[in-house]
Structure 1
Amino acid sequence: MAMTTISIASTIVSRTYSVGRALLGSLFLFSGLLKIDSFAAYSAWIASAALPNPDLLLVLTIVIEIGGGLTLISGWNARWGALLLALFLIPTTIIFHGFWRADPADFLNQLNHILKNVSILGGMLVVFAIESSRSQARVP
């Protein structure tokens, strides 16, 4: 009986983790797809941050978001997708959501974006850690 309980609990944890990982991935997948549809607007936003080659940076952003999102959704190389997305979040959050330089009317909006991105970054680190431990458990 105890073995069945452990097996059921393990299945629930595994499935819950898979759903949570896929939900995190869907955020990036949809974000990347939306950037394709509004390429000019996003490129202008990147240019407004005085970054070089905004079109190239946007293409790289789209590839990272869609590719990383798909790794999380599918579970294939999710560890590396999570790490890539975590590293991607750091500069994009600092560059595009600096509440410390926002005007008073936009301060709370940018603070919310930073807090959201920091939370997502935490989720990416959790996925990376879990996937890393799973990977080590499979090595003979």
Structure 2
Amino acid sequence: MDVLVLIGRILFVPLFLSSAVGHLTQTKQMGQYAAAKGVPAAGPATAGSGVLLLVGGLSVLLGVWADLGALLLVVFLVPTALLMHAFWKEEDGQAKQTEMVHFNKNIALAGAALMLFGFFSYVGDDLGLTLTGPLFDIS
């Protein structure tokens, strides 16, 4: 089980870590895009979301308070789905479809991250191949 969960963690986080790099190295360009989508304080929000992605992704990957890391990813994913991929606002059919795909992807990933949060918090120190146990205990 330990190895299976480690492989799952390794497969789960590259999307978040690569997005973190983009948010932190292209903050101005991504902030302009976020501003065009109506995100308030888009520049700082872009940098802040990059930090959330980086810390959350590394936490899950390395198993350092992985429950907290999974929760940070949920905190990123849900507002991003609602603010950046509001398909219901799109007039163009193709743009609406594209935004709906991204919205659904973010919501599905938020669900998976929420399950990881619950899993790590419930299993506690019994799960090997992590550097620390969970921060939360929901058992």
Q: TM-score, normalized by length of structure 2?
A: 0.82
Query: Distance between the aligned counterparts of 1:27 and 1:105, measured in 2?
Result: 24
- How far apart in 1 are the matches of 2:106 and 2:42? 21
Matches of 2:10 and 2:110 in 1, distance apart? 15
Question: Among 78, 84, 97, which residue is 1:90 paired with?
Answer: 78
User: What RMSD over aligned residues (CA atoms) do the two structures have, in Å?
Assistant: 1.8
Matches within 5 A, 1:50-89: 50-89=38-77
Aligned equivalent of 2:10: 22
Tell me, in whole angstroms, the C-alpha distance in 2 between the residues paired with 1:34 and 1:67: 14
SS in 2 for 1:105: helix
The one-letter code sitting in structure 2 at the alignment partner of 1:121 is: A
Higher share of residues assigned helix: 1
Q: 2:31 aligns with which of 26, 29, 43?
A: 43
Number of equivalent positions? 127
State yes or no: 1:105 paired with 2:94: yes
Identity %: 28
Q: CA deviation at 1:136?
A: 7.2
In structure 2, runs of 5+ residues without a counterpart are 127-132
- Displacement, 1:58? 1.2
CA distance in 2, matches of 1:52, 1:71: 27
2:40 is aligned with what amino acid? P
Output the CA distance in 2 between the equivalents of 1:18 and 1:136: 14
Larger Rg: 1
Q: CA–CA distance in 2 between the matches of 1:135 and 1:49?
A: 40
Q: Helix, strand or coil: the match of 2:13?
A: helix
Task: Extract unaligned runs of 5+ from structure 1.
Answer: 1-12
- Is the contact between residue 26 and residue 73 of structure 1 (CA under 8 Å) also seen in structure 2? no
Contact 1:29 1:69 in 2 (8 A): yes
Note the C-alpha offset of 1:105: 2.2
Q: Residue 125 in 1 paired to residue 114 in 2? A: yes
Query: With structure 1 as the length reference, what TM-score do the two structures score?
Result: 0.82
Q: Offset at 1:44?
A: 0.2
